[in-house]
Chains A and B, each alone.
Chain A
Amino acid sequence: MVTLEHLVPINELKSGVKPIWCPGCGDYGVMHAVLKAISELKIDPAHVVIASGIGCSGRFPAFVKTYGFHGVHGRALPLATGAKIANPDLTVLAVSGDGDGLSIGAGHLPHAARRNVDITYLVLDNEVYGLTKGQPSPTSSWGTKTKASPYGTVERPLNPVAMMLACEATFVARGFSARPQELAEIIKQGILHPGFAFIEIISPCVTFLDTYGLYKQRVVPIPDTHDRTNRMAALALAFDSEKIYLGIFYQDSQSRPHHMALREMREKISGSDSLQSLLERFRR
């Protein structure tokens, strides 16, 4: 992480491009929390990369004055992984929605977790495809009615937090766009975590599936008594059928990030072969 002496105010971290998000969209709150985290951690914005895929969340990098990569659908994690490997000094974030990250891009999740790439992955979960104007997503509740599911969905929703705990991700958390202060704190912890930090962020879609009311009733902070190094206890919280817990479910204090493992591997390889000496091996 490359930091500055001074604090860059949140407003100076905005690119000036007007967000395309609908008024009242949860993503505004998420963006504010991300900028607050970067600002308060004094990270040099020129050393930050935010990778995204497709969906309302995909537009995120354009509105922020860091380096960004708006890639194709579902591939924010591999883009972020490549950038982090290329330059481990960078602070790398990836931003997806529930469609981008949990449907088309879900195949990358277990692998980012098992590599433990030092990136912070924000999944902005609104339980609906917003950019394509309201189809059901992998986190939509059973029976969700949309134009693409006029009689209600007949699939169970995924539980992203439980999924990532099962993948042994080294940092698993959940935030809520309507609680930007707490969210900023979670994102800070995610950025500081040396390894893959998965943060599900409930970020309701006011246009196609307004769940603010529902969530405001059900969310509760993770109790102080929870031991965040206990994965099974974290799973129990993730599977709670009544309450939606917010906060850090699990963090592995022994987490060793991918780039460190790569560095150690390289250091163990004896002697660095020059190209000339490598060619000698093929001399007849």
Chain B
Amino acid sequence: MSVNDIVIRIAGESGEGIVTIGEVFVRIAAFSGLEVYTFRTFPAEILGGHVIFQARIADRPVLSQGDNINVLVSLNQEGYDTHVDELEVGGAVIYDNAVVKPRDNERHLLYPIPVSQLASNLNFARGSNLVMLGAMVQLMGLPLERAEQVVHRRLGRYPDLLPKNLEALMAGYHYAQEHFPTRPPTYLVPPEQIAEEKLVLTGYQAIALGALAAGCRFFAGYPITPATDLMEFMASELPKAGGTVVQAEDEIAAINMIIGASFAGLPSMTATSGPGLSLMIEALGLASMAEIPIVVVDVQRAGPATGMPTKTAQGDLYLAFYAGADEAPRFVIAPSSVEDCFYQTINAFNMAELYQMPVIILSDQALAPRVETCTFFNLENIRLWKRQLADLKPGQPFERYKITHSGVSPTTIPGMPGGQYTAEGLEHDEQGHPDYSPETHRLMTKKRWNKVNAARHHVFGLDNAVEEWGDQDAAIGILGWGSSLGPVKEAMVRAQEAGYRVAALFPKILFPMPDVRIRRFIRGRRVLIIPELNSLGQFARVIEHRYTRQLVQDSISVISLNKYEGLPFRPVEIFEEIKRVSELLTRRTWPR
């Protein structure tokens, strides 16, 4: 039982506006000065099917969706039946008493709300969601005037309905106030003053804003869950910045269009999920071979083939690292929070443009749609790395693929007189002319990989390329990537309280690997725990392969903590593993 750190789950049918209630509710909380972190899962279809929206709300930064559910909001019987067992003992059920019949009124506190009746009293049958929202605002302790302001802002685009919506909100609020003299044991106390400037936004929006800040002016995509929201946000915002969004006929067209646009000088991006990325791989190799900067966002989802489009996973690491014919260098970046999505997208464009390479951003279904509060983005400190243009001299032939120390060859853009060349997918010489000689292929393969090495030395000077924290001298190190950072951080706080010592390192730029940082981090540890949402332990296998010698010489064990259920890690799962490994280490049998 806690005040000011609650997990609330809203469950019902997809068509009932669960996500709308949830998103408006968390914005009311954020607007009241609290920190939020949401988690949603929904059917891919627009109507029908069971949906949940979960939010953790606290008065301090929230890093994961939490472990227990304190409050369950049920809009139908299935929503109650499916989730009531996960609700903690003593937790609250807020429900529509016309359709939900709670079976257990001893373990939980019940808050029945006649939402449809209250709505029809107002002659506004569609207002039942707002009635429920009003009741939730009252019972959870949020201020009514904040709720009114947020409803104004969020639903103001339907001006005809606004008075009715506000009436419905009020009806729910007042009903709860009159009928329930005691609040649920878990509720929120918003701060009196809102100190820090914060943003409330999703991972998609942070990536899109990062792209805009980095100068992206062309986006082509193809609808795919869970990446479509990114295309929709770009479609709304990019034209205002003078850019263009094209919904392509398929993913192959989308990636080839951004390659064409980038060739003609525009920083360009596409976004997809694993199945779409699979289709894009041939062209990704083309961008690598022809040395065209592009940014590809992969919002990972669970399962091969169609799999589970609305469930999360971190299963595309191998795909991002290695997929393609022969060897095609690329960069891979994995942001770990909504705020990080903004800055890592800028890193992605910078690395793409400077090194003339494809860059893959690995997001996932849990990170991309969730709403988080984060520190206001600092636009003033953004430094953009530009594509290096050739200094053309009359009479001298332009060598598009000139071999240089860093592997980066200054380029030209169509329209530059005397800079004509053919971007070539065949193996080519320095002029870009097709050439299959053994010598050329050897030199050009090296040239392309030299860019990866040059980047390795360069990008790890960035202060956001890796995140390292915890007890530096701990025997246990957690090495991870992507959106599992939040649950790991929370688990480590708990571990520290329990007296277990742990250090952690999350590289954000995964390819090239930050070798120096990882070697330093591994040194002196006895165990590395590598948590991942996949079954093979893809990152763990990469680490074992790359640092075999050090791991063997120093007798460091690698333990994969794998979860492949379509759901993100809960902090308790990481904590239990820390505890288990810490206790194992105290036994004599553990190899030294």
* A47-B414, A87-B264 known; A111-B421 Cβ under 8 A: no
The docked-state distance in angstroms from the alpha carbon of A68 to that of B290 is: 11
Q: Does B425 contact A (CB under 8 A)?
A: yes
- With beta carbons under 8 angstroms apart, the residue of A68, A72, A111, A278 that contacts B209 is A278
A111 lies within 8 A of B253 (CB): yes
- With beta carbons under 8 angstroms apart, the residue of B30, B241, B264, B286 that contacts A83 is B264
B239 lies within 8 A of A46 (CB): no
Residues on A with C-beta less than 8 A from B282 are: 72
Chain A residues bordering chain B, tally (CB within 8 A): 54
A68 lies within 8 A of B199 (CB): no
Chain B positions 246 through 276: 1 when the CB is less than 8 Å from some CB of chain A, otherwise 0: 1011101110111111111110100000000
B240 lies within 8 A of A85 (CB): no
B433 lies within 8 A of A62 (CB): yes
Q: Does B423 contact A (CB under 8 A)?
A: yes
The docked-state distance in angstroms from the alpha carbon of A111 to that of B419 is: 31
B283 lies within 8 A of A75 (CB): yes
- Which residue among A51, A61, A284 has the maximum number of chain B CB atoms within 10 Å of its CB? A284
A90 lies within 8 A of B200 (CB): no
The docked-state distance in angstroms from the alpha carbon of A6 to that of B290 is: 32
- With beta carbons under 8 angstroms apart, the residue of A70, A75, A84, A87 that contacts B426 is A70
Chain B positions 457 through 475: 1 when the CB is less than 8 Å from some CB of chain A, otherwise 0: 0000000000000000000
B421 lies within 8 A of A68 (CB): yes
Chain B positions 204 through 240: 1 when the CB is less than 8 Å from some CB of chain A, otherwise 0: 0100010011000010100000000000000001011
Q: Does B416 contact A (CB under 8 A)?
A: yes
B249 lies within 8 A of A107 (CB): yes
Q: Looking across the interface, which residue of chain A has its beta carbon closest to that of B292?
A: A69
Q: State which size class the interface on B falls in.
A: 35 or more
A279 lies within 8 A of B422 (CB): no
The docked-state distance in angstroms from the alpha carbon of A273 to that of B212 is: 11
Residues on B with C-beta less than 8 A from A265 are: 239
Q: Does B42 contact A (CB under 8 A)?
A: no
Residues on B with C-beta less than 8 A from A87 are: 264-266, 414-415
Q: Does A232 contact B (CB under 8 A)?
A: no
B218 lies within 8 A of A86 (CB): yes
- With beta carbons under 8 angstroms apart, the residue of A47, A85, A108, A115 that contacts B415 is A47
Residues of A bordering B, CB below 8 Å = 2, 15, 17, 44-49, 51, 59, 61-62, 65-72, 75, 77-87, 89-90, 107-108, 110-111, 115, 262, 265-266, 269, 271-273, 275-276, 278-279, 282-284
A68-B423, A71-B286 given. 13 additional CB < 8 A pairs? A46-B415, A46-B416, A46-B418, A46-B420, A49-B414, A71-B290, A71-B425, A79-B259, A84-B260, A85-B244, A265-B239, A272-B240, A284-B31
Identify 14 residue pairs between A and B in the complex whose beta-carbon atoms are under 8 Å apart, listed by A's number: A62-B424, A65-B420, A66-B420, A67-B421, A72-B282, A79-B263, A82-B218, A85-B244, A271-B240, A272-B241, A273-B237, A278-B212, A283-B200, A284-B199
